[in-house]
Amino acid sequence: MQLIRGLTNLLALAGQPDSPLRRGCVATIGNFDGVHLGHQTIIDQVRDKAHQLGVPAVVMVFEPQPREYFEGDQAPPRLTAFRQKWQALLQHGTDIVVCLRFNERFRQYSGLGFIEEVLVGGLHIRHLVVGDDFRFGCDRNGDFDLLQAQGEVFGYSVERTRTVMVAGERVSSTRVRDCLQAGGLAQAASLLGEPYGIEGRVVYGRQLGRQLDAPTANIRLARMPALRGVYVITATTEQGERYHGVANIGLRPTVDGKHPALEAHLFGYSGSLYGQRLHVGFRHFLRGEQKFDNVEALKGQILEDITQARAWLACQPTSID
């Protein structure tokens, strides 16, 4: 079992004799937005300790993320949607991802109640890896000291997360987000350990791209993305085929877009991607999103974007990675 969704399912599973958590687990808790190098180091800590104890390595996350619950649309943009985050966590060595819904009931947990019911009663926790600044429970009344004190009562241990520094600064989701919003794709990649990308299912759009001689694969985004504008991209299909291209990400102001979307034009692709999942990696920033006076002006700019994208790609190493 790689994903446990919801507190009810977690508690039900905890009581089953064949539960993967029957002998306990080593866990960490957080948003893990972007699964950057700092997150990967934490997962390494959890996995190493889990191997020592012979139990699963668990990462607990929340949907929505707590700041999204409290701040709504004012919360910072996400780096990764849940499915992409879940896959990244498993790819980096997590055995089980526990995703709990952050709602009013969950918000009202006291710090002690969270430890007793979720960590001990649900996870059968044996070892926990969290940062010194980790806060939890109603009004954030739970902290590292409380976890340590209750560990002596319930028989689990607590370990601090290791800090990862790049260019003299701590790696964080906020720092990645700031790099992306400033157009610093290379800097963001150095924090993530790979180029930044978004994955989603291709849906039907307005077919406007075909009218503009640049058909696009359209991915709807649940929230405003961390980066906006027009980019050179490398897209990977479900079959592992890769294509260079150009993409617009944002609100599409010329056509009165009301919901954020990613529209990718893939060079040399002539099939249908509808219904498939597509990974779009962002390679180079071309320009910001802008509103044009009419569709003809937009068409002219799209052709110019394609020309610039091809010119940039021509100066890069031949590898498509």
Same structural domain, 10 and 90: yes
List the domain range (segments joined by +) for residue 116. Answer: 3-166
Same structural domain, 123 and 204: no
Beta bridge partners of 202: 219
CA 278, 82, 18, 39 dihedral sign is: positive
Residue 190 resides in a domain: no
The total of structural domains in the chain comes to 2
**Mean pLDDT calculated for residue range 243-257:** 82
Beta bridge partners of 182: none
Same structural domain, 281 and 161: no
Same structural domain, 205 and 304: yes
Q: Calculate the alpha carbon distances from 43 to 84, 162, 198, 279, 294 in Å.
A: 16, 10, 21, 23, 50
Write the DSSP symbol of residue 221: -
Distance CA 142, CA 134 (A): 8
Average pLDDT, the chain: 92
What percent of the chain clears pLDDT 70, i.e. is strictly above it? 94
**Mean pLDDT calculated for residue range 203-216:** 69
DSSP state string for 138-164: GGG-B-HHHHHHHHHHHT-EEEEPPP-
pLDDT at 253: 62
pLDDT at 206: 66
**Mean pLDDT calculated for residue range 59-64:** 97
- What is the gyration radius of the CA atoms in the chain, in angstroms? 22
**Is the pLDDT assigned to residue 209 strictly greater than 60?**
no
139: left (phi over 0), alpha (psi -120 to 50) or beta: left
**Is the pLDDT assigned to residue 321 strictly greater than 70?**
no
Kindly report the CATH number assigned to the domain that includes residue 55. 3.40.50.620
pLDDT at 200: 95
Distance CA 136, CA 147 (A): 10
Residue 15 resides in a domain: yes
**Mean pLDDT calculated for residue range 218-225:** 91
pLDDT at 167: 93
**Is the pLDDT assigned to residue 193 strictly greater than 70?**
yes
Residue 140: alpha-carbon gap to chain centroid = 24
Same structural domain, 119 and 205: no
Kindly report the CATH number assigned to the domain that includes residue 290. 2.40.30.30
**Mean pLDDT calculated for residue range 287-303:** 86
Distance CA 169, CA 185 (A): 17
Residue 176 resides in a domain: no
Residue 226 resides in a domain: yes
**Mean pLDDT calculated for residue range 242-267:** 86
pLDDT at 317: 79
Distance CA 251, CA 248 (A): 9
How many beta carbons lie within 10 A of that of residue 141, not counting itself? 14
Distance CA 13, CA 4 (A): 9
pLDDT at 292: 83
Contact 283, 189 (CB under 8 A): no
Confidence of residue 270 (pLDDT cuts 50, 70, 90): confident
